[in-house]
Chain A
């Protein structure tokens, strides 16, 4: 790698050519403040927080876009730099809605942190504030432009990384705002509810639609049997909300916390992931053997599903008809479990804890119901669960490790756990499909080719004397690229896994917020996925079809995968939607 030598604050350093001054400074242990910059997403140099002095330069320069050069001399801490940054920050704050105490992002806000770090104790300017209505129509995402600092990180994420393009910058000058076309609500356009905009917002302009009050009310209602289930990716990130290192799994403490919050039963969505593999694997085998529509595409990610409905309506038949795991679980809880426990399904209230904001929208879809009851009553994000734990005064870090509740088993399989990372559903499916087609139990269970953060991964496996060709895409920009290649014939595969968020569910829009600074130091997608792959390795059972409780539910209730009963409870259909 070609290296470039430069001096920052008199310190000599050597960094790869093509680095920016911001990146070079970070490796030299020097922090430069930023707001609009976000690694891999947003690099526009527009907020002017990262100004530095370049020796011989005419004016202060934005470090996030200034490339290093041989012999460059940079100063990040001169009186001129400090003054310029402080004035800029005061100007940004001058028309900001500074109700920090009641803000969703209180103590977790990059603007607030900067004001603290730069020593802003007084704001010398009072700007005119625009007053905006808060957009609360979407079941997933709330946009409050009163808090927006126009950094455009959400726009770049939505338009360039996800290629959804639901939001953009409108008007100009003082009237500038981030909004949807024709001032429509996020709930009225082609927004897929992935929540990546929330994940990248430095302030409180975007948040999930909070449903914790509904859950508190259900927990306090003696007539409700309140059941909770948690998605695989939640355990890989919840600990971050309580100061744990990124990538620390906290499955046992999470189960313990849920019990202490008062849930009547604490279930693991991993069981339903195993169930999904049984249904989806069977569907794939049937499509391959009976000349059905291929490639078959996974249907676990509701952001991806809505994206497909808007942008690839001609490919809806390629989608697996399987409901997503937590919806399957809801349907099973309100039928099989209700019968077993002797509870009227109407009195059961199913709460899903998800790393995902799109699941809130999904849970309201009419077709995801059985006998007039929604499969899932309410969805909370990982962040909302953390809020409830804090509100309840539970000292999370001191909790013992506890197990999930019967009758679905204390542990699911490793296959269910890895559902939370890109390639995980594919790997879990291959573990089962290869065993079924070969009529044996393969000892090799790890398929490295589908793991990792490469945008599009292509692999093939031999099973039953056939080659099954597989592709994996994560993030909707990659999904769009892959599907266009499938349509043009450039890529020919049998089975595709798509997860709507970059890195998969571990980096979902409902996960703990990671600051722009931390994103410079670590790859969220890889760090959190490690927690899942470690847990997979440590579980005694690693294949969905080996789960004894899965065998039991088919024996006692569903018959066999793909049966009539399984179809009525566990499968769904999709709706072609307008592109905009």
Chain B
């Protein structure tokens, strides 16, 4: 029943060194966990089990408590971000114009869940709140590129440009 990590952990010795020094700075302080998690996410980009285990060991708190905090706050991510970060707007305007179908199409083509990342590290997928481009609804973004007024049928052609 455990969620298997799709992307293998590629942490370096240098990152581990950095994390250890962050832990050492905060150890023994009340409420140390959240600042350590923030900095760990800056170091690694996300918070996989390997990183959470190092934090649990370092701060001497149960791993279940660390995971509980990580899953409570939306700014903490369990998954790495891909080379191409896809964001599908599920704000009200985009949603009524069919962005739900666009999201489903992307999930289907890339075999990807929301908040997930493809095994090759190329694409990650997020469902976002309104991004302020309602005039173009429905909208989705790939890194800095914005695609608006599209339908689910346009999705394969757009993704193909990045898949090569």
A137 contacts B63, CB within 8 Å? Answer: no
Of the listed residues A170, A171, A182, the one surrounded by the most CB atoms of chain B closer than 10 A to its CB is: A182
Partner of A172, one of B2, B65, B72: B72
Asked if B65 and A168 sit within 8 Å, CB to CB, the answer is yes
User: In angstroms, how far is the closest chain B Cβ from the Cβ of A180?
Assistant: 6
From A133, A166, A171, B64 is in contact (CB under 8 Å) with A166
Judging by beta carbons under 8 Å apart, are A165 and B72 in contact?
A: no
Query: What is the size, in residues, of chain A's interface with B at 8 Å between Cβ atoms?
Result: 24
What are the residues of chain A within 8 A of B2 when measuring CB–CB? 182-185, 188
Q: Is B68 an interface residue (CB 8 A)?
A: yes
Given A133-B1, A183-B1, A580-B56, A170–B65 Cβ distance below 8 Å?
no
Q: B1 and A137: CB pair below 8 A?
A: yes
- Interface centre among A164, A167, A184, by most B CB within 10 Å? A184
Q: A135-B1, A580-B63 are contacts. A181–B72 as well, Cβ < 8 Å?
A: no
Point out the residues of chain A lying under 8 angstroms from B57, CB to CB.
Answer: 579
A159 interfacial by beta-carbon distance below 8 Å: yes
Measured in the bound complex, the distance between the Cα atoms of B66 and A189 in whole Å is 14
With the chains together, A260 CA to B49 CA distance in Å?
52
CB of B55, distance to nearest CB on chain A (Å): 11
Chain B proximity of A44: nearest CB distance (Å): 15
B1 touches A181 (CB 8 A): no
Shortest Cβ distance from residue B38 to the other chain A in the assembled complex, whole angstroms: 18
What are the residues of chain B within 8 A of A169 when measuring CB–CB? Answer: 68, 72
Please, which residues of chain B bring their CB within 8 A of the CB of A183?
A: 1-3
Interface of A is mostly: loop
Nearest-neighbor residue (CB-CB) of B65 within chain A: A168
Produce 1/0 per residue, A137-169, CB < 8 A to B. Answer: 100000000000000000000010000111111
Q: Are A165 and B53 in contact (CB under 8 A)?
A: no
Closest CB of chain B to A253's CB: distance in Å?
42
Report whether over half of chain B's contact residues are helix, strand or loop; otherwise say mixed.
helix
B62 on interface, CB distance cutoff 8 Å = yes
Residues of B within 8 A of A (CB): 1-3, 49, 52-53, 56-57, 61-68, 71-72
Contact between chains at A170 and B67 (CB < 8 Å): yes
Minimum CB–CB distance from A111 to chain B (whole Å) comes to 24
Contact A182 B62 (CB under 8 A): no
Write the chain A residue with the least CB distance to B4.
A182
B72 to A184, Cβ gap below 8 A?
no
B52 and A181 contact, CB distance less than 8 A: yes
Which residues of chain B have C-beta atoms less than 8 A from A188's C-beta?
Answer: 2
Whether A181 contacts B3 in the complex (CB less than 8 A), given A580-B53, A580-B56, comes out as no
What distance in Å separates the Cβ of B80 from its nearest Cβ neighbour in chain A? 16
Q: How far is the CB of B29 from chain A (nearest CB, A)?
A: 19
CB nearest to A171 among chain B residues: B71
- In addition to A181-B64, A183-B1, A580-B63, 13 A-B residue pairs with Cβ atoms within 8 Å of each other are A165-B62, A166-B64, A170-B67, A170-B68, A170-B71, A170-B72, A182-B3, A182-B67, A183-B3, A185-B1, A185-B2, A188-B2, A580-B56
Tell me which residues across on chain A come within 8 A of B52, comparing CB atoms.
Answer: 181
Task: Indicate which residue in B1, B3, B49, B64 contacts A165 across the interface (CB closer than 8 Å).
Answer: B64
Q: Which of A137, A171, A179, A181 contacts B66 (CB 8 A)?
A: A181
